[in-house]
């Protein structure tokens, strides 16, 4: 770890952290607080993915839909209208919409092969956005004179790394520049995340091996063909399995590469000082502190 002790963390002239864990446990909330209340630079991986690496794919998807409408087709072909996404740190809907869900086209579903193609685009984009982090640390200092830096990672970070590989090409460079911090949820948090997802199922990125196995099992269990699948039903069914799949991967990331805090502790953070105290305690409590 780049901060060997809690005192080293407290006294560091530059505090660099990467927050990871399931979406909905406070990563963006605390990152935004640090940006607004303190002198911290907030780097959002999902925002970087949606603007830098997948922005063209997202805009082209919008244009393809617009081209189906005669009036908009005419305006687009004459360069009379401009179509773009409006992604923000708090609204990543254009990225989710592009990822889509597999299943019946009349219910908004994508063919499974196209769905997997977009998943692969996201995987490559997420790795690139994560590897951009050191550049943004330097950029924050050079442009904005901000030494403290928080990387707000996506929930799928654990799907694009191998936590047990000491030479993982993503985790190794990240750990050389930042303290990796897992926000761990409780069973109650997991149940609430599932309830929330059931109310509004949204597209997500999954590890391809996990996703293909889930898709094959869903088709077999329900005796369905690809075009008969209700997209929302499939992603609802998959979500709880994804939480169980990700949990040990997050835990290995924390054990091998960083520290962990509880979601309840993050929810109690009100100011940058509270955050500094929280991370100091996490470093003290880390087993086999390095």
What percent of the chain clears pLDDT 70, i.e. is strictly above it? 99
Average pLDDT over residues 57-77: 90
Question: Three-class SS of residue 91?
Answer: coil
Residue where the block lists tokens 């002790």: 5
- The pLDDT, as a whole number, for residue 290 is 45
Q: Please provide the average confidence, as pLDDT, over all residues in the chain.
A: 94
- The pLDDT, as a whole number, for residue 89 is 76
- The pLDDT, as a whole number, for residue 110 is 96
Q: Find the helix or strand (DSSP H, E) in which 17 lies.
A: strand 16-20
Average pLDDT over residues 75-100: 86
Distance between CA 266 and CA 178 in Å, rounded?
Answer: 18
Instruction: Look at residue 231 and tell me whether its pLDDT is greater than 60.
Output: yes
Residue where the block lists tokens 């959002």: 44
Instruction: Look at residue 97 and tell me whether its pLDDT is greater than 60.
Output: yes
Distance between CA 188 and CA 165 in Å, rounded?
Answer: 31
- The pLDDT, as a whole number, for residue 289 is 54
Q: Quick one: pLDDT band at residue 92, thresholds 50, 70, 90?
A: confident
- The pLDDT, as a whole number, for residue 138 is 98
- Selected residue with higher pLDDT from 158 and 62: 158
- The pLDDT, as a whole number, for residue 287 is 73
What is the value of pTM for the model shown? 0.92
Distance between CA 36 and CA 30 in Å, rounded?
Answer: 10
- The pLDDT, as a whole number, for residue 87 is 85
Lowest mean pLDDT among 19-33, 84-98, 186-200: 84-98
Distance between CA 27 and CA 41 in Å, rounded?
Answer: 14
CB 19 within 8 A of CB 174: no
Q: Quick one: pLDDT band at residue 88, thresholds 50, 70, 90?
A: confident
């Amino acid at each position: 770890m780049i901060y060997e002790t809690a005192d080293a963390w407290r006294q560091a002239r530059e505090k660099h952290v990467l927050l990871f864990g399931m979406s909905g446990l406070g990563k963006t909330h605390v990152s935004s607080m640090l940006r607004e209340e303190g002198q911290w630079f907030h780097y959002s991986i999902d925002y970087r993915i949606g603007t830098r690496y997948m922005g063209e794919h997202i805009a082209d998807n919008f244009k393809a839909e617009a081209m189906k409408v005669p009036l908009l087709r005419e305006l687009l072909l004459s360069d009379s209208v401009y179509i773009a996404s409006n992604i923000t740190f708090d609204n990543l809907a254009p990225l989710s919409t592009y990822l889509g869900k597999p299943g019946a086209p009349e219910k908004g579903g994508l063919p499974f092969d196209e769905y997997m193609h977009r998943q692969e685009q996201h995987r490559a984009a997420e790795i690139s956005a994560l590897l951009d982090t050191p550049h943004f640390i330097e950029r924050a200092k050079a442009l904005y004179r901000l030494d403290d830096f928080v990387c707000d990672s996506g929930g799928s970070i654990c799907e694009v790394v191998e936590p047990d590989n000491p030479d993982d090409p993503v985790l190794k460079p990240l750990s050389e520049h930042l303290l990796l911090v897992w926000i761990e949820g409780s069973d109650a948090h997991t149940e609430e995340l599932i309830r929330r997802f059931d109310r509004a199922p949204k597209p997500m990125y999954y590890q391809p091996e996990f996703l293909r196995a889930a898709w094959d099992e869903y088709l077999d269990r329900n005796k369905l063909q690809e075009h008969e699948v209700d997209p929302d039903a499939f992603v609802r069914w998959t979500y709880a399995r994804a939480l169980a799949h990700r949990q040990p991967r997050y835990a290995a990331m924390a054990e091998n590469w960083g520290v962990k805090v509880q979601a309840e502790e993050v929810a109690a953070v009100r100011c940058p000082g509270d955050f500094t105290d929280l991370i100091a305690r996490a470093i003290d409590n880390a087993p086999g502190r390095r």
